[in-house]
C-alpha cells in the first residue's frame, strides 16, 4: 500500500462491537497523515537538494577535470618552454663562442697585420737610414770635392812638376759635372 497522506485519510476501518474509539482513531490517523506529509515534503526537499548537489558535484567534477586538463596542458607547455629555453641557451652559448673565436681570429689577424706593418716600417726606416747615411757620405764627398777644387784654384801653379801619364790634363770638372754625377749616383741607389 502506498502511504501518502491522502490515502491514509481515506482509509476506513470496519466497525466492530468492541472496537476502538472512532474519534481517537480518526484523530490519530490525521496526525499520522500530517507527519507523513511533513516527512514526504522533507524527503522531496532532500531529494531536490540531493539532485542539486549531484548536479553541482557533476559541475565541480567537470570543472576539476577541465582544470586538470588545463594544468596538464600548462605542464606540457612549460616543459616545451623549458626545452626551448635549453635549446636557446645552447644556441646562445655556441653563438657567443663562435663570436669569441671570430674576435680572436680578427684580433690575431690585426696583430699579425700590425706586426707585418711594423716590420715593413722598420725595414723602410732602415733603408731610409742607409740612404741618409749614403747621402751624407756623398754630400760630404761632394763638399770635399768643392773645397778641394777651391783650394786647388788658390794654389800657385808649379810649372816645373812633370804631369803623370794617363791623368787627364784638365782634372777640374765643372760644377755641373760634379752635381750631375752625384745625383745620378743617388738615383742608382734608389733603384
Alpha helices of the chain — where are they, by DSSP H? 5-10, 22-154, 175-190
Residues 171 and 38: their CA atoms lie apart, in Å, by 161
pTM of the complete model: 0.38
Q: Which residues contact 22 (CB under 8 A, 6 or more apart)?
A: 15
The model's pLDDT over 13-72, given as tens digits with 9 standing for 90+, comes to 677 777 777 787 888 888 888 888 888 899 999 999 999 999 999 999 999 999 999 999
Residues 26 and 178: their CA atoms lie apart, in Å, by 168
The model's pLDDT over 138-165, given as tens digits with 9 standing for 90+, comes to 999 999 888 888 876 665 555 555 555 5
Amino acid at each position: 500500500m502506498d502511504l501518502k497522506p491522502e490515502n491514509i485519510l481515506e482509509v476506513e476501518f470496519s466497525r466492530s462491537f468492541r472496537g476502538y474509539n472512532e474519534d481517537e482513531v480518526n484523530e490519530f490517523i490525521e496526525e499520522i497523515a500530517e507527519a507523513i506529509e511533513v516527512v514526504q515534503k522533507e524527503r522531496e526537499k532532500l531529494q531536490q537538494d540531493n539532485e542539486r548537489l549531484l548536479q553541482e558535484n557533476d559541475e565541480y567534477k567537470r570543472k576539476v577535470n577541465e582544470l586538470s586538463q588545463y594544468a596538464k596542458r600548462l605542464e606540457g607547455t612549460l616543459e616545451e618552454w623549458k626545452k626551448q629555453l635549453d635549446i636557446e641557451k645552447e644556441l646562445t652559448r655556441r653563438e657567443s663562442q663562435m663570436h669569441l673565436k671570430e674576435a680572436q681570429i680578427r684580433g690575431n689577424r690585426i696583430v699579425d697585420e700590425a706586426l707585418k706593418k711594423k716590420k715593413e716600417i722598420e725595414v723602410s726606416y732602415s733603408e731610409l737610414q742607409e740612404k741618409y747615411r749614403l747621402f751624407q757620405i756623398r754630400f760630404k764627398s761632394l763638399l770635399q770635392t768643392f773645397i778641394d777644387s777651391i783650394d786647388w784654384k788658390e794654389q800657385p801653379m808649379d810649372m816645373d812638376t812633370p804631369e803623370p801619364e794617363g791623368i787627364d790634363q784638365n782634372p777640374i770638372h765643372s760644377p755641373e759635372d760634379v752635381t750631375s754625377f752625384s745625383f745620378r749616383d743617388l738615383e742608382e741607389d734608389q733603384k
